[in-house]
Amino acid sequence: MSRRLPPAAGQSARTACARALLRGGVAEKSGELVSAAVLAERVGWCADLVSAMTAGVLAGHWATCDVALLAGGVDAGGRRLPSQAWMALRRLGWTATAPAGVTVNDRIARMAQEQAGRLLRSAHWRAELTAGVLATWPADPLKRTAGEWDAVRAAIPGGRELPASVIKARTRQVAAFVRAQGRLPADVFELEGVPRAARMLVLAACDRQQATLWRSESDPGRALLRLQVPTRPDPRCYADWTWVACPITLPPTVPADAVLHLPTLRPRDGSVRADIAYTHLVPAARRAGHTIALGVDWGLSTLLTAGAARLHQGGRITALGAGARFRAAGVLAKQHRLRRLGEHLHAKTGHYQRLLDGCAPHPALGGKQARLAEESRRLSARRRHLNDALAWAAARWVVDQAIAAKVTVVYLEDLRSLEAAGMGRSLKTRLSQQVRGQIAGHIRHLAAESGIAVVSVPARNTSKHCPHCLSVLRHRKAPDRPTVAGWKWALCPGCGWQGDRDQGAWRRIAARGLTHQATTVTDRASGAMAIGSVVDQLEARAVITPPTPKTRRTDRSKTGPTRRRTPRPAPRRRRAPSPTRPTRRAGQRPEGHAHTGRTGLPRAAHRHQGVTTISTPTKRHRPRGAALGAGFHLHAHATPPRWAPPTPDATPDIGSLS
C-alpha cells in the first residue's frame, strides 16, 4: 500500500511506526487454526530464505564501485534510479537467487533485494567518511593539530557540521587495523566485513500477491493481515506456500483515521513482532516565528532540566516560572550496577573461551561457558529495555512540559560533540552510558504529534555565562558554601544572580534559540531542525530580563494608638489545661497538632531536598529501590507540568489585620 494523505493548510503528513504481536491465524485453504508457535516457525522459515538471498546479493556487490553506482542515483544509461531499493537493484541487474532446489515467488526476491539495497546505500556514507580520514591520515592519530582537523573536515562531504567524536571513532578503527596489519586499509570495505542480513520480512516491497493489510471499519483498533508463508523450511513447489490470515490488535497510539501500510515482520523468541507503519495528518511545525519556547538542558543525576521563556515585542525575553527537573538517579544507579555485572560476566566468559581454545574438548567447561554467555545475553536485554524505558519516560515528560506551557518550539542542547577528555574514570563511564540520542529522537517523535518543533542548539558556554548579563559565572559547591569550589551552584559577579547550574543553562538555551531562530536550518533527509552556529550580534541580545522586584508602596509608620488585644492563657479551642498522658495508648488526645506517640520525625524531614536548602550531604546517596531491583518508576522523579503564569497581585500590601 502506498496511499498518501493530502495535507491541508497548516498540516503535514507524518509517518510513524507502531509495534504489534501476531498471536496466530487461520489457514485460508484448509480453515485450520494456526497457533502463534506454528506461525512463528513458518515466518522464521521464510525469513531464513530471505536472509540467505540477501547475503548473496551483499557478498557479490560489497565493493566501492558498486556502492558508489547505487548511491549515485543514475544507471549506466544515464537514467535516474527509482527510490525503492529493490527497483533500483533490478534496474542495475543485481538479482537475488534462491538456494538450489527451493521454489520462491518473485515477491520473496523483492524483499531480499530491498533489504540488500538499503544496506548498500547506508554503506556509502561510511565509505566517504573513511576515504576522507585515510586521505588526510595524521602524523599522530591520537591527537590531530588544528590544520589536520581543517584538512579532514574539508575532505569529508558535510564535514564542517560533523561532530568530532564521529571522526575520532573512525580514526580509532583505522588505527586498530594499522596495528594488526601494519598498513592502512584501502577503503571501508576492507576495514569492515560484509554486514549480516537480519531475519525479517520487509513486506513493503511486496504487492497483493504476497501480503495485504485491511483495517476493520467497525472496530478501528483491529486489522487483518494476509500473507503467504511456506509450510516447510525448503519449499519444493508453489503448493508448499499457503495463505494465512492473522488478526492484529492495533496499539491505542494509532489514530482512527490513519492509513496503514504493510508491516515488517520479525520472528524472535517463538513469536512474531510486526512493525506497522501508518500515516496521519498532524499540525505543521514552524521553523521560525516563535514567541514561547522551552529550553532543555542535559545533566547527570538530574537527567533533564527544562523551563519556558517568552519573547516580547521589543526583543525582551522573560522566563515563565522557575523551571522543572527530571531526575533519574535511581534508574542510572541500577543501570551502572547491571553494567558492572555485565563486564564481570563478559570477562569470565572470555576466560572460559581461552581455556577451551587451548585444551581438548571439555564438556563441563563448555557447558559453563554456554550458560554464562546466555546469562550475559539476557543481562544485555535487561539493560536495553531499561534504557528504552528511561528514554521514553524522559521524552514524554519533556513533551508534556511543552504542551502545558503552550510552547511552539523546544530548544534542545546539542551534545553530539561532547567528549569526556580530562575527566575521571567514573565520570567518563557515566557520560558514555547516557541515552541522549534515544531521548532526542523520541522527543522529536512525540512533539511532531502536537506540531511542536524540536531544534538543536549549540551547547557552547550555556553553563559558563550568566543568563541575565552574560558574565562568566563562578561555580561553587553549594549556596551555603560560597568559598568551596564546585560545579553545581553558580554565582554571577556582575549582576549578582545565583542559582543552580542547570537552571541557568536552560535559560541560556531558550534565549539563544529565540534570538537565533531565523538561522534555523532543516535537514532534507531526516527533517531535523538545528541552529548551526552562534552569531555574536544575536548572542548579545540572548539574555533573560530579571523580574522586577516587588516594592512596598504602603507607609507603615505609626499614626495612632495600638489596638488592645485580650490576653489568652490557653489556645482559643481549649480553655482548660491538657490532661496528663495515660500509660496506655487509649485516652483523650492532648492539645496540639502533633501526636505525642511519635518517637521520631518523618522520613521527609531527613531527606535532602536540593541545593537551594542545604549543602551537599556528606553521605553518599544509596537509592534503596535500585539496590534491591525494585523497578523503574520508583526512581524516576519528575516535576509535574505546571506552567501557568502567576496572577499579579493588584491589591497593595496593607499589613496584618489581626
Q: Mean pLDDT score of the chain, rounded to an integer?
A: 84
Q: What is the pTM of this model?
A: 0.78
Say if 6 falls within a structural domain.
no
Q: Residue 341, CB half-sphere, CA atoms under 13 Å: how many?
A: 16
Give the SS3 label for residue 477: strand
Look at residue 154 in the predicted model and tell me its pLDDT: 92
Q: What is the pLDDT of residues 52-89, one digit of tens each?
A: 999 999 999 999 999 999 999 898 888 999 999 999 99
Same domain, 279 and 300: no
Same domain, 262 and 325: no
Look at residue 111 in the predicted model and tell me its pLDDT: 96
Look at residue 20 in the predicted model and tell me its pLDDT: 94
Count of domains for the chain: 2
Same domain, 348 and 493: yes
Mark which of 514, 539, 564 sits at the end of a domain.
539
pLDDT confidence band for 587 (50 / 70 / 90): low
Closest among 514, 458, 512 to 292, alpha carbons compared: 514
Say if 593 falls within a structural domain.
no
Give me the phi and psi of 179, to 5 degrees please. -65, -35
Q: What is the pLDDT of residues 245-260, one digit of tens each?
A: 999 999 998 999 899 9
pLDDT of residue 519 exceeding 60, the answer is yes
Q: What is the pLDDT of residues 448-497, one digit of tens each?
A: 999 999 999 988 888 889 999 999 998 888 887 877 888 788 888 888 88
Stretch among 5-19, 337-351, 416-430 having the lowest mean pLDDT:
416-430
pLDDT confidence band for 569 (50 / 70 / 90): low
Residues 262/1, Cβ–Cβ less than 8 Å: yes
pLDDT confidence band for 238 (50 / 70 / 90): very high
Mark which of 539, 565, 591 sits at the end of a domain.
539
Same domain, 235 and 319: no
User: For the chain, first and last CA: distance in Å?
Assistant: 76
- CA 410 vs. chain centroid, Å, equals 15
Look at residue 555 in the predicted model and tell me its pLDDT: 67
Same domain, 251 and 299: no
Place of cell 558514555: 432
Same domain, 463 and 505: yes
Residues 6+ apart with CB under 8 A from 45: 229, 230, 232, 233
Mark which of 264, 283, 302 sits at the end of a domain.
283
Percent of the chain with pLDDT over 70: 82
Q: What is the pLDDT of residues 191-209, one digit of tens each?
A: 998 999 999 999 999 999 9
pLDDT confidence band for 568 (50 / 70 / 90): low
Give me the phi and psi of 575, to 5 degrees please. -95, -10
Look at residue 9 in the predicted model and tell me its pLDDT: 82
Count of CB atoms situated within 10 Å of the CB of 509: 32
Say if 607 falls within a structural domain.
no
CA distances from 477 to 127, 298, 425, 463 (A): 47, 19, 21, 15
Say if 177 falls within a structural domain.
no
Same domain, 444 and 488: yes
d(CA 34, CA 26): 5
Stretch among 200-204, 385-389, 628-632 having the lowest mean pLDDT:
628-632
Same domain, 513 and 532: yes
Q: At what angle do helices 436-449 and 363-405 cross, to 10 degrees?
A: 40
Look at residue 606 in the predicted model and tell me its pLDDT: 47
Question: How does DSSP assign 530-546, residue by residue?
Answer: EE----HHHHTT--BPP
Mean pLDDT of 424-453: 80
Does the CA dihedral 81-86-87-89 come out positive or negative? positive
Say if 598 falls within a structural domain.
no
Mean pLDDT of 262-277: 94
pLDDT confidence band for 328 (50 / 70 / 90): confident
What HEC string does 226-244 produce? EEEEECCCCCCCHHHEEEE
d(CA 241, CA 98): 15
Q: Residue 244, CB half-sphere, CA atoms under 13 Å: how many?
A: 23
Look at residue 608 in the predicted model and tell me its pLDDT: 45
Say if 41 falls within a structural domain.
yes
Closest among 497, 533, 522 to 414, alpha carbons compared: 533
Same domain, 315 and 347: yes
d(CA 322, CA 306): 9
Look at residue 485 in the predicted model and tell me its pLDDT: 81
Stretch among 205-209, 418-422, 621-625 having the lowest mean pLDDT:
621-625
- CA 651 vs. chain centroid, Å, equals 47
Look at residue 562 in the predicted model and tell me its pLDDT: 82
Say if 20 falls within a structural domain.
yes
pLDDT of residue 567 exceeding 80, the answer is no
CA angle, residues 327, 332, 334, in degrees to nearest 5: 130
Residues 255/221, Cβ–Cβ less than 8 Å: no
Same domain, 394 and 526: yes
Question: How does DSSP assign 511-534, residue by residue?
Answer: HHHHHTGGGEEE-TTT--EEE---
Residues 215/196, Cβ–Cβ less than 8 Å: no
Residue type, 339: R
Same domain, 431 and 342: yes
Residue type, 448: A
Residues 334/631, Cβ–Cβ less than 8 Å: no
- Helix or strand run (H / E) with residue 152: helix 146-155
Closest among 299, 296, 293, 301 to 324, alpha carbons compared: 296
Which residues span the domain enclosing 497? Answer: 292-539
pLDDT confidence band for 267 (50 / 70 / 90): very high
Percent of the chain with pLDDT over 90: 52
Residue 298 pairs in a beta bridge with 304
Same domain, 355 and 225: no
d(CA 540, CA 511): 10
Residue type, 394: A
Say if 129 falls within a structural domain.
yes
Stretch among 159-173, 352-366, 505-519, 629-643 having the lowest mean pLDDT:
629-643
